[in-house]
Chain A
Amino acid sequence: MLRFAVIGVVFTLLIGLFWVGLGLNPRELPSPLIGKSAPAFRVPELFDATRELSQADLKNKVTLVNVWASWCSSCRSEHRHLLTLRRQGLRLVGLNYKDERAAAFGYLNSGGNPYEAIGFDESGAAGIEWGVYGTPETFVIDRQGVVRYKHVGPLNEVVIRDTLLPLIAELERT
């Protein structure tokens, strides 16, 4: 009888898990950071290890902070959107999360570099400050350095058109 009980329990757990999972949106997630100043962090620049990147570099202009890694396959799917946003004149700052320098260079060389500056967060410590759960994640920071929006998962046409661009336009007006 034991094996039937085991099978039954596993099956019920799976169903329960999926039921709960249906109610969750894997792409949206409230961040305690929204409405607050960007968290303090300090990481070396990816290309120039002598330079440092911190929250002070995010001010004065509406900025997208994009958390990415070369090992992240969904980052590749949003990459072309980042390049487009960059071409539209937006400032993008990358946070290269738990990655290796050489791998990150290869990724940017082949896919193109949409970022004005990239923080190299090898240990993931800055990621913790930002409440990063996984890559990719994208934050919208306004001119005062306040976090306005967070998107979890790869960006897509719909989010960019319906949410990001209107929000950015509004932030740039104020």
Chain B
Amino acid sequence: MLPEIGQFALALALAVAMVQAVVPLAGAARSNAAWMRSARYSAFAQFLMVAVAYGCLTTAFITNDFSVQYVAGNSNSLLPLYYRITAVWGGHEGSLLLWVLMLAGWSVAVAVFSRHLPLDMSARVLGVLGLVAVGFLGFMIFTSNPFMRLFPVAMEGHDLNPMLQDPGMIYHPPLLYMGYVGFSVAFAFAIAALLSGCLDATWARWSRPWTTLAWVSLTCGIGLGSWWAYYELGWGGWWFWDPVENASFMPWLTGTALIHSLAVTEKRGTFRSWTVLLAIITFGLTLLGAFLVRSGVITSVHAFATDPERGVFILAFFAVTIGLSLALYAWRAPSVGLGGGFGTWSRETLLLVNNVLLVVAAAVVLLGTVYPLAMDALGAGKISVGPPYFDTVFAPLMLPLAALVAIGPLVRWKQDLPTRTWQQMRMTAIAALSAAAVWPLFYAHWSPYLALGLFTGLWVVLAIGLELHQRTGLRPAGLARLRPSHLGMHAAHLGLALVVIGVGMVKSYEVEKDVRLAPGESVDIAGYNFTFDGTYPLPGPNYMADRGTVHVTRGEETIATLHPEKRTYASKRGMPMTKASLDRGLLRDLYVSLGDPLDKGAWVIRVYYKPYIGWLWAGCVLMALGGLLAASDRRYRVRIAQAAPAKGKLAMGRT
């Protein structure tokens, strides 16, 4: 019975979403206040309906209702309760339901927190979000119904993919979807502004916290996915340039460009039509990602089960939404003023270069991702594009970007002198350069590429210190007076610096060794000694594991005892899963995982030494924290009547 209620709730949600889309937009066009006010209630009603549907599906998972096809395909009665709850988003249909739930949740948040906006603006934003919801709800109801019954009823579920039975996987998809869906709010603000014809600094201020929150979620989602891949897949890799990773990375790149371009629009009133276009592109890339992942046009380790009907639906959705948005943009953008001018050496110029680099980087990733498809479509054969391409083209774009991060915050808005910047920054540049030249000497070898990466990363750190020193004299009282958004910027930039340094170090100095070890034998890498004690069987709730014991020592000192596992899940999928065991540290991770069993208790053991890899995740956390700080700034919550006009803020020169 419950699944039918869920399905009915979904259908109702679609109907409500249509009302939410049509009535407020029509009301805004005809200045009908009652119609515009209805947007809020529709948003609440739609959220309620989707939440009911989500609750029904979750209940079906908890009660092991294998008469529901989706539950039978993604759960199992042996699965622990918490994984039964998270298995809801373990497959295509359920993850789509989660997506829609989040979209409805964001709409409610907009309805609640946008009371200070003019009525026509909030009505248009909610109306556009309603349109997006119509698309996704329609996609789910017509092509991917999670409540489909199975007859005859399965006796036992097929089990959740063992790779997804991990805490990292509990949070990774929801955060990623929070990010994707959050960018539809930024998109809705952009379309609302185009519809109203009012693309000014106030619009940018309204849109900024939402965009930043979406970016924070996406940052966390990508970081968590990478962290999960690192320890769960057992190969020690943290980024594979897989098409689906790229699908999440492209909106992150353009979204990063968007939050910077919004800053310019808010502070200086320029870049207006570019900002709107970026919002449309970023949302378009999230749809494109959904298409790539869920249509089966591209082979990937992540891809969901494929169905051409689904691909046609999302493609049509993508074409209509983005096509109409671009048409609206082409119609309205020429009437948008250019805003304030700026000199050739100014913060605006540097942010423009930042935007160009980020968009080019996104284009490069897009090209690498769809190139195999394009070759295939042109009949030129099947090819695959891998890390060699991405690594080659991506690093040269990211290093100048990191250098810009160092320089940008120290350059004045509107007009500055390169000589002044140089005088300010030369000490930090020289210090960063010397440290970058010396630092690698503590390690195995010196390479110019690594030195360049270390230089840009260190320079960012020193430049942040310099900026804070200039502004506050680094006195606690002065630091305490800084705006949260200013601190947020520095935190995020510091995070980027950590990522740059971490990537450089781990790419240069990681040691990976795969060895055959019998119990009692040992191996040395990077100064550490790993002794294998053999394995013993250890049963889990729905799997059998071989658990190994590896003692790590350095000289006389005991570092850690690691327990890598090899698990075989009881369900029919029966694939062995590798559970790596790590000793994490500030400057290095030691990583041990079990390969294959050999004769007489010996195993193939993978022993990895990963220097500075923790800096990657620390950097992601800092970036996300920075975004949260920035979004928490009180000026975004000031009522419209009290908000100072944008021009009043120019003199303060803050990002």
Contacts and interface: CB of A to CB of B under 8 A. Distances in A.
Contacts of A20: 377
A39 to B, nearest CB: 17
Instruction: Give the size range of B's interface with the partner.
Output: 35 or more
Contacts of B576: 80
A4 B277 CA distance: 11
Contact of B604 (A22, A29, A112, A157): A112
Interface string B508-552: 000010111000000000000000000000000000000000000
B383 interface: yes
Given A8-B330, A76-B235, A134 B384 contact: yes
Interface in B277-307: 277, 288, 291, 295-301
Contacts of A106: 512, 514
B383 A134 contact: yes
A22 B374 contact: no
A7 B326 contact: yes
A80 B376 CA distance: 28
B329 to A, nearest CB: 8
Contacts of B319: 15
A154 B302 CA distance: 12
Interface string A13-39: 011011111111011010000000000
A138 interface: no
A4 B330 contact: yes
Contact of B382 (A8, A29, A71, A80): A29
Contacts of A147: none
A166 interface: no
A112 B514 CA distance: 11
Contacts of A112: 595-596, 604
Interface string B366-405: 0000101110110001111011100000000000000000
A123 interface: no
A72 B308 contact: no
A24 to B, nearest CB: 6
Interface in A81-126: 83, 106, 109-112
A73 B240 contact: yes
B388 to A, nearest CB: 7
Contacts, number: 105
Interface residues of A, number: 37
Contact of B575 (A21, A80, A110, A135): A80
A153 B382 CA distance: 10
Contacts of A18: 291, 295, 297, 311, 315, 318, 373
Contact of B301 (A11, A21, A74, A152): A74
A80 to B, nearest CB: 6
A122 to B, nearest CB: 15
A17 B330 contact: no
Interface in B247-298: 277, 288, 291, 295-298
Interface in B133-181: none
Interface in A124-151: 133-135
Contacts of A4: 326, 329-330, 333
A77 interface: yes
Given A7-B326, A74-B301, A133-B381, A26 B387 contact: no
A72 B512 contact: no
Interface string B215-251: 0000000000000000000010100101000000000
A23 B305 CA distance: 16
A134 B322 contact: no
Q: Which of B308, B315, B573 has the most CB of A within 10 A?
A: B315
Q: Which of A18, A71, A76, A106 has the most CB of B within 10 A?
A: A18
B312 interface: yes
Interface of A is mostly: helix
B312 A22 contact: yes
A110 B606 contact: yes
B377 A11 contact: no
B386 A71 contact: yes
Q: Which of A22, A109, A152 has the most CB of B within 10 A?
A: A22
Contacts of A71: 386-388
B323 interface: yes
B382 A134 contact: yes
Q: Which of B308, B329, B388, B596 has the most CB of A within 10 A?
A: B596
Given A71-B388, A112-B604, A152 B382 contact: yes
Contacts of B595: 109-112
Contacts of A134: 372, 382-384
A24 B514 contact: no
Contacts of A83: 596
Interface in B332-384: 333, 370, 372-374, 376-377, 381-384
A7 B383 CA distance: 27
A106 B308 CA distance: 38
A17 B315 CA distance: 11
A133 B383 contact: yes
B309 to A, nearest CB: 10
Nearest to B235: A76
A126 to B, nearest CB: 17
Interface in A35-80: 71-74, 76-77, 80
Nearest to A4: B330
B298 A26 contact: yes
Interface string B572-593: 0101100000000000000000
Q: Which of A14, A83, A135 has the most CB of B within 10 A?
A: A14
A159 B533 CA distance: 39
Q: Which of A21, A77, A152 has the most CB of B within 10 A?
A: A21
Nearest to B605: A110
A153 B299 CA distance: 7
Nearest to A154: B299
A157 B322 CA distance: 37
Q: Which of B295, B372, B382, B595 has the most CB of A within 10 A?
A: B382
B515 A109 contact: yes
A7 B382 CA distance: 28
Nearest to B241: A73
A83 B575 CA distance: 11
B586 to A, nearest CB: 27
Given A26-B299, A134-B382, A17 B326 contact: no
Nearest to A71: B386
A27 B575 contact: no
Given A7-B326, A11-B322, A112-B596, A22 B382 contact: no
Contact of A72 (B326, B382, B384, B596): B384
A22 B326 CA distance: 23
Contacts of A80: 575-576
B376 A15 contact: no
A75 to B, nearest CB: 10
Nearest to A113: B596
Q: Which of B301, B330, B384, B386 has the most CB of A within 10 A?
A: B384
Query: What 9 pairs between A and B have smallest CB-CB spacing?
Result: A133-B382, A110-B514, A134-B384, A109-B514, A112-B596, A20-B377, A21-B297, A4-B330, A22-B311
27 contacts: A4-B326, A4-B333, A7-B277, A7-B330, A14-B288, A15-B323, A17-B370, A17-B377, A18-B297, A18-B311, A18-B373, A19-B315, A20-B377, A21-B297, A21-B377, A22-B312, A24-B377, A26-B299, A26-B373, A26-B376, A26-B382, A72-B384, A73-B301, A109-B595, A110-B235, A134-B382, A134-B384
Given A74-B300, A109-B595, 9 more contacts: A4-B333, A7-B330, A8-B326, A19-B315, A22-B315, A71-B387, A71-B388, A106-B512, A133-B383
